Every structure is written in C-alpha cells, then in structure tokens.
Amino acid sequence: MLLLNPKKPDRFYPDERSREIMLKTIEFFEAKGKARIKKDDHERVWYSDFIEFQKKEKLFSTLLTPAGCGGPDARWDTWRICEFNEILAFYGLPYWYTWQVSILGLGPIWMSKNEEARRRAARLLEEGAVFAFGLSEKEHGADIYSTEMNLKPGPDGTWLANGRKYYIGNGNAAPMVSTFGKMASTGEYVFFVANYSHRNYECVRNVVNSQNFVSEFGLHDYPITQADILHVGQDAWDAALNTVNIGKYNLGWASIGICEHALYEAFTHASHRKLYGMRVTDFPHVRQLFVDAWSRLIAMKLFALRAADYMRVASPDDRRYLLYNPVMKMKVTTQGEDVINLLWDVIAAKGFEKDTYFEMAARDIRAMPKLEGTVHVNIALIVKFMMSYFTNPGPFAPVPRQDQAANDSFLFNQGPAKGLGRIRFHDFRKAYAAWDLPNVKIFREQTRAFMEMGIGAPADEAQQKDIDFLLAVGEIFTLIVYGQLILENATLYNVGPDVVDQVFDFMVRDFSKFAVTLHGKQSTRADQAEFCMKMIRRPQADPDRYARIWKDCMLPLDGAYVMPE
C-alpha cells in the first residue's frame, strides 16, 4: 500500500501538473530501461540525458522555484518534492544526486535578500540549469568554522575570491555555485555565487569514481561584485545551517527509493528460485529476513511522510521539524542499510551480479548515512532536544496530513540557527497510548525505563561531555522519536494493527540492542546499567499475525514490479 510501484503510480496529487511531472519522470526511466541505466553506471557516464529531460519538461524549475518567482505551477512544495526524491532514487542514485545538490545550492539563494541573484536563479532554472553548494573543504570537511575560502577587497568596491572547495556536486556544470567563505578584512562569514564557466574558476577534478561529478574546484582572484553577494556575517552562518536543515531531510527519501526497488527485485528473484527441493521463500529464516526488511521499510516511509508534515507547518513558534529532520537523516538512512543487508542475506551472490539493480543499491545505500553530516553529528544534534521532548510538552493542535498544493515559504525564512534547547514538542505519550497492541505496549515500557534512568540515574558532568556515552543514549532517544511519528502516521494512513505490531516487533528488538550497547559502555555507571537491564525485552510473537503479514503483504511482492530491460 505504501510502497512506490511505477506500474501503479497512484499516490495522491493535489493538482494535475504535479501528477504529470511524476508520470513523465517514471516514463523517462522506464523507456531508458535497466540495461542502459546499468551501462551508464558501469561506464560512469555523466547523466546529460536526464538533465536534458528535466530541462525540456521544466521539472527543476517547477519543483524548486518558490511561488511568485517562476511560472504558475512553480512552488516549493515539500509533498511533491518527497515524491520526486523517491522516484529518482528508485531508478538510480546519480539522478537523485544532481537534484539534491541543486536543492542545497538554491538554499542560500532563496534565503537571500539579493533580488538580482534570486531572479537570476529563477531564470537559470527555467533554462534547465543545475546548481551547487560550495561549503566543504578538503582539509576541513564541513567544519565551516575553519573555512579558508576568502574574499579580499578590490580597489573599486568589489572583491577577489580565493580558495578551494571539495566534495561539491555539480561543480562542473552549475552557473551559480553558492560558495561559503570569509571576508579577508573582517573575518565575517559570507555566502556568494560563482559560475563554473568563468576563466578564474578552476574545476580541478572529480574526486569520486562515479557517474556523479563531485568536484574539487578552486577560485583564483575570482571577481565578485555586490550582485554576487548572498549573505554576510551571521546571516551567512544561518543560511549554511538552515540550508542543510532542509537538504539533509532528502537523504532519507533516497534510501527509501533505493530500498523499494531492491525489495521488489530481491523478492521476485527469491520467489522463483528453488534450493534443496524447496522454494527459497519457504525457508523460515528467509521469510523472517524478508518480513524484517519489509517492515523496516514501511516504518521508514511512515516516519518520512510524517516528518514532512511538520516541515510544512513550521513557523517561528513551531520548529519541531528541527528534531525530526536529523532523525530522518540519521535513522531512516541507517535503516536503509539494514534493509539492504537483510535482502542481501537472502539473495547472496546475486547481489553482486552486474546486470541487477541490487548491485547499485548495495553500493549506494552506504552513502546516505555519511552525507550532509555523519550519523554521529546528527545524533549529537538530536540529543540537544531530549530534555525538552520529555519534560516540557507544549500545547500544539493536532497536525493533519499536509498534502495540499502550497508553497512552504517558512523554510527559506527560518531565522537564526540557534535556540534549539528552547524548542517545545507535543506530548509524545499520546501517540503511544492510541495503540493498544502487544509490542507497542512493550516498547512503551522500555521507554518508561529509559525515562526513569534519566530521573533516577542521570548522566553526571563527565558523561555529559563523553561523546561515546551520549551517542549510545542518543540511539535510544532517536528510536522513541521514530516510533512516535510512525504511530501518528499509521493512524493518518489507516495502517492496520497487524502491520503496526509487526513494525514494533523489530522496534522492541532494536531498543533492547541499544540498551545492551549502553549497558556495555565503559563510562556507564552501575546504577545506570541496572536501568538498561529493565529496557531489554522480548517482543511478543504472534504466529497468526505473522502468517497474515506474509500472505497479505509479502506474497504480492512477487513480480509486482520488474524493470524493463
């Protein structure tokens, strides 16, 4: 029901143009075929055919231009952006990548008060251009405190830019590269735009062995005028962080698209293979691997859709999405790795074969947790919200499903990137109380034990500075937030109790696994270890529920989608 199937593209769209975009994109890839996609992947072909297709159909222009800056159908609509993310990754991560780094490159532009730069971006989108985000540097990664890119004053009120950037997607083709640096004279942060085709712009190389062009580029006395300046000072810093807040959410959708295609391929293969006189899908361990993979994928998508709802209702008084986005980035992407690992344990050597989609999936799924901030960076951000989440719920009205045709203007007017500890959340316990299911109840008891540890055996001053300890705590807290939004969306999407209880079967097991990890940490005290033991629980098995899941949800995957050669 929740999985993308290009043969049955029946997701709700609030307008015909949005539906047309998705159907034409599916048609493009279906016509291209798996053999050509694989050939391009193996030969590391720059995806100019896709860029030309999106240019002809004005896809990026429609989807990535805020309302009022482009045509009548143009708006920044997170609902349909999610769908486009998913479709592109379903067919191949490189197609998603050029779109994703364009989103990042556009962030500082749409957040800027520089109307000339905004008009230039809208015109270039209309002409089919891609964009780039020049933040990282070779020696510093995403440590933007240490950026060495600088603008030195020229004699006539202009500047000269000097420095190098690294890991910059589309840096070989973007006429507007949003570039982060410092003013050489004052040390103030600055965002400005550079053009890849300028003679003082050196595209040094592609740093990856891939269809993607992930560039290292250098600016050598590159002339910058006031028309090229997007942000200066605190605004530049805020634009960097707020752009990442928007962009990193998309990585979870890339993981979802990859896993969906891999699941169809793996299940259909296994269903038609016999070993030792048995169909592979009749082996009990194979069924468990598939059910786990499927239920994890359903959970990923339920969380992702619900997190988007909170992005769309965000305002200066409601910034809950700043917790849900790093959870999306960290948790959904690592769950994607788990899904691929489970499927790979079934199909084994088949997963290496060069003519399968799975071969790409097994490689590309590893990238998602490592881009736009590592898992560790995002957990460190997530734990900043823990005290407020548990102890200071706010009076928020229920948020319904946000699938309306609307421009999400607040995303480009987020304000200062600070004050995270003051953000309030609605009472998470209501979502758990709404489901009277065995494994949800067990998970609720595990959560209670975790909260009791925070009261009865709180982290001491040394532990609060111990990143290793905080990461272990953060895994458990993340799982609680993850479960909350899954349950909220299961209600909104009328997901049945069998599916929800099966999802919480693995959630209970994961909670226990993280509790064991915390229990074993060198810095965990004895009193805290006792609470960890209370968190270790078994899910409640239900053979009848499991059989229904297999019959109603798993068996229909056989042949449900096979990509044309």
Q: How far apart are CA 57 and CA 28, in angstroms?
A: 11
Task: Please identify which residue in the block is written with the tokens 């070779």.
Answer: 138
Task: Please identify which residue in the block is written with the tokens 């293969």.
Answer: 269
Q: What is the CATH number of domain 16-126?
A: 1.10.540
Q: How far apart are CA 526 and CA 518, in angstroms?
A: 11
Secondary structure, 3-state, 160-185: EEEEEEEEEECCCCCCCEEEEEEECC
For residue 141, the model assigns a pLDDT of 83
Q: Say whether 193 sits in a helix, a strand or coil.
A: strand
Q: Say whether 243 sits in a helix, a strand or coil.
A: helix
Q: How many CB atoms lie within 10 A of CB 434?
A: 12
Distance of CA 25 to the CA centre of its chain: 20
For residue 398, the model assigns a pLDDT of 96
Find out whether 287 and 270 touch, Cβ atoms under 8 Å. no
Cα four-point dihedral sign 233, 234, 239, 240:
positive
Find out whether 162 and 211 touch, Cβ atoms under 8 Å. no
pLDDT in 10s for each residue of the chain, 565 residues: 689 999 998 888 999 999 999 999 999 999 999 999 999 999 999 999 999 999 999 999 999 999 999 999 999 999 999 999 999 999 999 999 999 999 999 999 999 999 999 999 999 999 999 999 999 999 988 788 889 999 999 888 899 999 999 999 999 999 999 999 999 999 999 999 999 999 999 999 999 999 999 999 999 999 999 999 999 999 999 999 999 989 999 999 999 999 999 999 999 999 999 999 899 999 999 999 999 999 999 999 999 999 999 999 999 999 999 999 999 999 999 999 999 999 999 999 999 999 999 999 999 999 999 987 788 888 989 999 999 999 999 999 999 999 999 999 999 999 888 888 889 999 999 999 999 999 999 999 999 999 999 999 999 999 999 999 999 999 999 999 999 999 999 999 999 999 999 999 999 999 999 999 999 999 999 999 999 999 999 999 999 999 999 999 999 999 999 999 9
Find out whether 498 and 548 touch, Cβ atoms under 8 Å. yes
Q: What is the CATH number of domain 132-234?
A: 2.40.110.10
Find out whether 337 and 363 touch, Cβ atoms under 8 Å. no
The domain 248-389+429-556 having CATH identifier 1.20.140.10: the answer here is yes
Q: Domain limits of the chain?
A: 16-126, 132-234, 248-389+429-556
Find out whether 388 and 423 touch, Cβ atoms under 8 Å. yes
For residue 155, the model assigns a pLDDT of 80
* CA-wise closest residue to 195 among 274, 131, 253: 131
Q: How far apart are CA 522 and CA 548, in angstroms?
A: 43
Q: How far apart are CA 126 and CA 71, in angstroms?
A: 9
Task: Please identify which residue in the block is written with the tokens 């290009």.
Answer: 6
For residue 140, the model assigns a pLDDT of 86
